[in-house]
Structure formats: C-alpha cells, structure tokens
A and B are shown apart, each in its own frame.
Chain A
C-alpha cells in the first residue's frame, strides 16, 4: 500500500492484465512472471507479438528472461540504484514526457525551505532525522506553507525548491557508471533498457511495469515500488492504456485481504484502525480526514463502517459505537505478537490458511511459540505442521519438546475448498470475481464463513446472557445474516452489507426478492433489517443513514440487485461485464490522465477516456475516474473543499492536490524519495552514501531480520 498508495492514491495495481497487450514496452522486475503467473504472462506475449519490447531485470536467468528481448542481470537488492539511474537518465537528457509531467505530477510544486536531501552531506539522511528515536519526524518534507491542497507551483520546473529540481539533484549521482558499479550492469545494457523505455513514451506510446514478491519481500520494497512509480510518472505511463504498474499478487485474494483486511492496523477500505490517542470519533476524524480530494469523505466512509458493524445500536448519540472499536497501543502485527506467544502472554490463536510452523521464518521459534499457547484453532484442508507440532516436529524427534509437557489444546477443523463454498476473491487487478458453490464440503469440512458465523452466534448468545459492560460491543454487533441448510451465512447477504445500504428498514420486503431494491432485507428474527442498497460510495453519508462494510467495494451489489462480482458477460477487452473492479468498476485507474489536459485523447492509438464537448461529460472505453461533468478547464474556487477543490486537469483525485507524487510530502516513514541503500544482509559497502543501510531500518533490522521473508504478497 505505501508504495503505490503514496505515489498515486490507491494501493492497487493501476491496470488490468489484458491491457498489457497494448503496451509498447514491458519492464518485468522482481518477478518471474512466465513461471509464477503463467496465464497472466500470455498478455505479455500478446504484446510481444504486436512488436513490444520485453525487458526482464532479474539476477537469475529464468523462463521469463528466455522469452524477453532484453535480459538484465542485476545484483540482488540494487533495484533502486538501477531505477534511480533510469530516472536520472530521463531528467539529465530531457527525455521525460514533459506535457504529462508538468500538469499531472507534483514536479512543479515548491517544497518547504526546511527540506534537506541526502546529498547535503552524503550520509543518506533526509531532513527531520531524530537520532535518539531513530526515526524521521516533523514537517520538513511538506510543500511550502504546509498546505498539501494548494501547492505553490512553478510550471517551468526551474525554481530551485521545486520537486523537479530536488529530484534531479537527488539522483544526480546515479550515473550509468554508478549503476555499473552498484548493480553490475554494463552501461551498454543500461542504455539499451533506457532507449527501449524512452522509445515507448509519449502521446502515441506507453510502457508497463510488472513486479511481484521480488520487490515486496525486500525490507525496502516500498521504496523500490516508489522508484518505479517515479519512472512511470516521468514517462507519462500512468492512467493510460498499455501503461501502468501491475503488481502481481501471489495468492488468489492478496488484494482482497488488504482491501477487506485481516490486518491489525487498517479497517476495510484502507481506513485507519484507531489508536489509543484517538479517543473520540471527532478526534479520530479530525486526524484522518483530508480537506480536499476523495479522502475528504472520510467521515462518511467511517460512520458507514460503524453502522455496518453495530447496526441500529450505532447512533449519533454514542458516536456510532466508536468507543467499542478496540484501540491500538502499538504494533500488533504477527512479527510482534509472536514474542508475546513465546513469553506465554498469548492465550489463544486462530490459524486460518497459514502454517507458521513451516511457512514462517525460524520455524523452530514458531513451533516453540505454538507450544506456549493455552489453545489453538487450526482450520485447513490437511493436517498441517502447525496443527500437529506437538506430535511430529524436529523438536519432538530430538527430545527438545515432549508431547506430555505441551499444554496447548488443539482444535483441528477441516476446511471447505474453493468449489465447496461461494464468495469472491479480489485478484491482482482489483477485480472481484465471484465463485459459485458446486458441491457441499465433505464430512466435517466447513467454510470460514460457517465457522465465523457459528462462533459469533455462540458468543453473542453468551454476551446477551451476561450483564458485564465489556460485552457491550458483542451485544451491539449486528449479526443479522440469514443462513442456509448447512448453517452457512448467505455470503451474498454479507456482500450486500459490504456494498452498503440505507439503514432505514423497508417494511414488508421479501427476503432476496429484490422488492424496493432491497436484497436480503430480513434479519434472523424475521424483521426488516435495512433499506435499499446504495449504488456507490458517493451516496454514503456521515449521519448514520447509510451503512457500508467496505466503501471502496460499494457498487458491487447496488439497487439493481445484481451481484456484479458474479457477472459473466465480458463486453470489451478490459472485461467490463465480467466481475467488478473497485473502485466503481474502473479497470484502469487515474484514467483522466489518458487524455491531454484539454480533455482530448493523447492520440488515437492510446485513447481511453476523454471529454466530450457535445454532452459536456467524460466518456470513453473505461469508466471515467473523474467527476463526470467536471470540465478539463475547471478551476476550483479558493477555499473549495473535497472533490470541488480538484482542478479539471488533476487525475490523482485521492491526493489533496490531485497530482501524481514524484515526491511524497507525507505518508512515508523512510524518506520522501527512494534512496539506494545496501540490503541488511549485504557484504559490500554503499557506493553512494556513508550509511550502508537505510537509517530507519536499523531498529527493525535487529528484531525483524528473520521475519522479512514473511511478506508474501
């Protein structure tokens, strides 16, 4: 999320796999796509058939390299030096796509005078470094004046404090010779890549970048992705057909598991999980609501989430149940709570589709941690190592652990497979695709939905029989779901809640009948539960009159009662009519950038979305990612808020300024620009800075070194 999210606004691939076929050049780095995503790779091959140049940057010669036009072996962990070298090449030789860069990115924005880059004394530090806390702090990376909404700009890109000049200076020492020294890539090969990318840039051409776990698994993965984002912005490739950055996710629903997260620090739709300091709803909303851009709607998304969680018990009077939401008191990720497990502080654990006893680093430590639990619930299709560590493990074999000493109570629940339950995955291109159920699961096998539903019913019954105040959130939890013969909740009813509805119940509706546009409108007691569905997040309100379980998915099951994740009639190459791509069924996001600032397509060959002067609205092949009737020459009034503050030629509407961020003024912990540091494990010293590794990495380094490879996406 931070890499793509801070650069463009949303933490998701910007394009669709099929669209790779339209690319004139494809750079694959940090992925062996031909082997790991073979069916997606067919679109790379399609592009190659049409004459595109395929570049594979990877230390290892794989099947992907064999099918590429150019294979670039680089030393592992030096991606930022290589990409930074390309950025320097574009800037120094004036080869970037100026017509795109000037209006659509923050190249022209003037930075605060306090900003200092690592070139100052060559140590690798930006301004704001606090040595004691070993962290960056303060506001020195902000735009001049501190307001991100209305930056001062110099469209000539000459101002010494503008982002473009800072970017130029930052990468000035990333020369082809330096790239050779650091990455081991000879200058001729470097120029071959640079020439291919430049040849595929401009009004008539585009290039795409594909990456996978070869980037995200790095401790500095975020900054590698940032470097690619800068490259793609400079080449003018974001929001345009055949362009973009395609993050290739490793599992069926990696994207889905962060959109609707089972992660500690976010709520559905990338809302922030409240921290201990966010004591009231108002405090919380004041902290996270942006004045301009789409995040100005934060209160609407948050209140609608609380309404989805706590139903009619969430009222304006009780801050919509905000105090019931648990507050974070630190880092509660797996890497941290593992230590609580080892210390015996963790009583119980649920494992659903993970196998830390062999799947996480330092498996001996993992198994030891499991043996300290009071109870453990494992849900899987086979008896995995994490379920039987007390019986079969190297520690048992060596006599290090004995079954009779292990107190852990283990419950093994056999799980249903993908054909035995219905529900949606969100694939690598933000596409929700529904699976119909084929058969019942065998024996005791059940879905996770069944398990959660059955557990919830039992716990809520206990809470209702108790008068303990700590059980109030459980009593308030809106668990209304109708169920089938097996006891599974109807997952389409859950999807309807995710989509969102008007909260006033409509009396007399039939269950699932579609009456009054209400789907699954009857709760478990037979009472009307909610009103008609919303058609998209634009309808959400902050007054409690709407509920939505995940605002970015809103529209997937709107008032027509059609589950669009299950639609199966693809109408065009982007697949409209097949599944539902968030947000708003947009297949290529930020697609306002596919048109020139004046609203006309960059070229006939690369047209996607454009302004139609006859009907005065945005139209095109994709769903326009822009306010439909906002003309290209729209100038916001001074003091305008929300989307009204975004000019007609600013495609990145989640950012306060509507611009693509070459430089990230806010939101990253380890620097506003990617900087080459050696990996923690590196045996060689840094050629560019006096610090070998990224300063903020030291503190995580000692503790998390063993854990880094856990990052699996």
Chain B
C-alpha cells in the first residue's frame, strides 16, 4: 500500500490535489523536470570576443569535453555589457554548421576534381612550391641597388585574423622570404 501511495504521489495531479495548490508551483514538477538543468551548468567557459565587426563585443564560449555548447554575450564587457547582435549571437553556427570544411583538399593542375592529401604532406608541398618560386624570382640587386625581394609570390589576407597571426605573416613573408606583395582589405 505504501508503495502505491509513493507511486501515485509521483503523479503531479495527485500532489496538486493533496497540497491544494494551483498546479503552477513545485508540485507540478516530475522527476524528469526535477533532474533538468541548464546545458551550461557543468560546462567550462572561455572568455572570447565576437569575430564579426569592429565593435568587439565580449563573448562567453561554453564548452564541455572538447565540444562547443553555446556562445553568449559577456555581461562584464564594458563595451557590450552582455549584448550580442543577431550575427554575433549566431556565431556558434559559424563554427558548427554543416557546410564547414574540415578536410584538407588538393587540386592538381588541369584536374577536374579535388583529391585527398594529408595535412603534413600538403605543408611539405607548399613549402616546396614557395621555395622553388622564390628561387626562380628573387631579385638581389636592381640597377646597383640591393632590393632583396620577390614580386612573384603574393599574400592577400583578411582583417579577421589575430594580431599575432598577422605578425607572423609579416615576419616570415616579408622579413624572411622578401615578399613585398602583401595586402589585406583594411584601409584606415
């Protein structure tokens, strides 16, 4: 009998009648709802910045076991105070959408399709191509003046790369390889 009462009392309606409540309080909860919690409760959080425009809104990126869970506005940011615009609020999808490429691809000269190539192999081949092009086109002197440059390898970068990445690009491409054709879209 006792177990039957216990069993019945799991039914929210019974609790509602017994407690003479209106069914909108705790008495309405089932075991399932009682066990529910926010997705991010036991997640880790990374402090981040929105990758879109120049406002620079603060983001909290919640993740667990190496998987992204959600991206929210950072309430402590003095600029955005927890807000994100529709684009920034959807930046989770920028990282997780189904069209995102995660495989290295190679297209041989005159080929009609991509072929597979490992990341390591691709890096080796690209290094070879840079090396050969540079050897072929490097100019040490022009009309007696030392210029140490090549104008046959170019770089076109975006303005959503990190400062540290831009720094390495300029250091290797310009200071190391002598590339002068280095450009991006920023005009301030």
**Closest partner residue, chain A, to B119 (CB atom):** A444
Other-chain contact of A452, B104, B168, B181 (Cβ < 8 Å)? B168
Q: Which residues of A contact B101 (CB under 8 A)?
A: 380-383, 412, 414, 445
> A617 in the interface, Cβ–Cβ < 8 Å?
no
> A185 in the interface, Cβ–Cβ < 8 Å?
no
A390–B111 Cα distance when bound, in Å, is 9
> B30 in the interface, Cβ–Cβ < 8 Å?
no
A568–B47 Cα distance when bound, in Å, is 9
**Closest partner residue, chain A, to B110 (CB atom):** A404
> B187 in the interface, Cβ–Cβ < 8 Å?
yes
Other-chain contact of B67, A12, A262, A264, A439 (Cβ < 8 Å)? A439
Q: Interface centre among B53, B66, B122, B136, by most A CB within 10 Å?
A: B53
Q: Which residues of B contact A349 (CB under 8 A)?
A: 153-156
Q: Which residues of B contact A382 (CB under 8 A)?
A: 99-101
> B5 in the interface, Cβ–Cβ < 8 Å?
no
Q: Which residues of A contact B99 (CB under 8 A)?
A: 382
> A224 in the interface, Cβ–Cβ < 8 Å?
no
Of the A-B pairs whose beta carbons lie under 8 Å apart in the complex, a sample of 21, sorted by A's number, is A249-B186, A254-B54, A255-B54, A257-B186, A261-B170, A323-B146, A340-B152, A353-B158, A354-B158, A382-B100, A404-B110, A410-B105, A413-B104, A414-B103, A423-B163, A433-B58, A469-B140, A470-B148, A470-B178, A573-B78, A712-B159
Over the window 441-454 of chain A, the binary record of Cβ atoms lying under 8 Å from chain B Cβ atoms (1 yes, 0 no) is 01111111101111
Over the window 122-162 of chain B, the binary record of Cβ atoms lying under 8 Å from chain A Cβ atoms (1 yes, 0 no) is 11111101110111111010100111111111111111111
Is A353 within 8 A of B161, CB to CB? yes
Q: Which residues of B contact A453 (CB under 8 A)?
A: 168
Is A262 within 8 A of B184, CB to CB? yes
On whether A424 and B159 interact (CB within 8 A), knowing A251-B53, A257-B186, the answer reads no
Taking A267-B170, A346-B153, A455-B127 as known contacts, 14 extra A-B pairs with beta carbons closer than 8 A to each other, sorted by chain A number, are A252-B50, A253-B159, A325-B175, A348-B152, A410-B107, A439-B63, A449-B164, A458-B127, A494-B168, A553-B163, A570-B78, A578-B76, A578-B78, A710-B185
On whether A449 and B162 interact (CB within 8 A), knowing A264-B181, A458-B123, A711-B185, the answer reads yes
Is A406 within 8 A of B53, CB to CB? no
Interface residues contributed by chain B, number (CB under 8 Å)? 113
Near A by CB (< 8 A), chain B positions 78-92 give 78-81, 83-85, 88, 91
**Chain B residues engaging chain A, CB cutoff 8 angstroms:** 44, 46-58, 61-63, 66-68, 71, 76-81, 83-85, 88, 91, 94-95, 99-114, 117, 119, 122-127, 129-131, 133-138, 140, 142, 145-188
* Least distance between B62 CB and chain A CB atoms (Å): 8
Q: Interface centre among A279, A310, A414, by most B CB within 10 Å?
A: A414
Interface residues contributed by chain A, number (CB under 8 Å)? 156
Is A352 within 8 A of B169, CB to CB? yes
Is A713 within 8 A of B133, CB to CB? no
A407–B127 Cα distance when bound, in Å, is 19
> A32 in the interface, Cβ–Cβ < 8 Å?
no
Q: Which residues of A contact B50 (CB under 8 A)?
A: 252, 418
Is B188 within 8 A of A326, CB to CB? no
A479–B173 Cα distance when bound, in Å, is 13
* Least distance between B30 CB and chain A CB atoms (Å): 34
**Closest partner residue, chain A, to B169 (CB atom):** A262
Is A250 within 8 A of B53, CB to CB? yes
> A403 in the interface, Cβ–Cβ < 8 Å?
yes
Over the window 394-426 of chain A, the binary record of Cβ atoms lying under 8 Å from chain B Cβ atoms (1 yes, 0 no) is 000000000111111111111001111101111
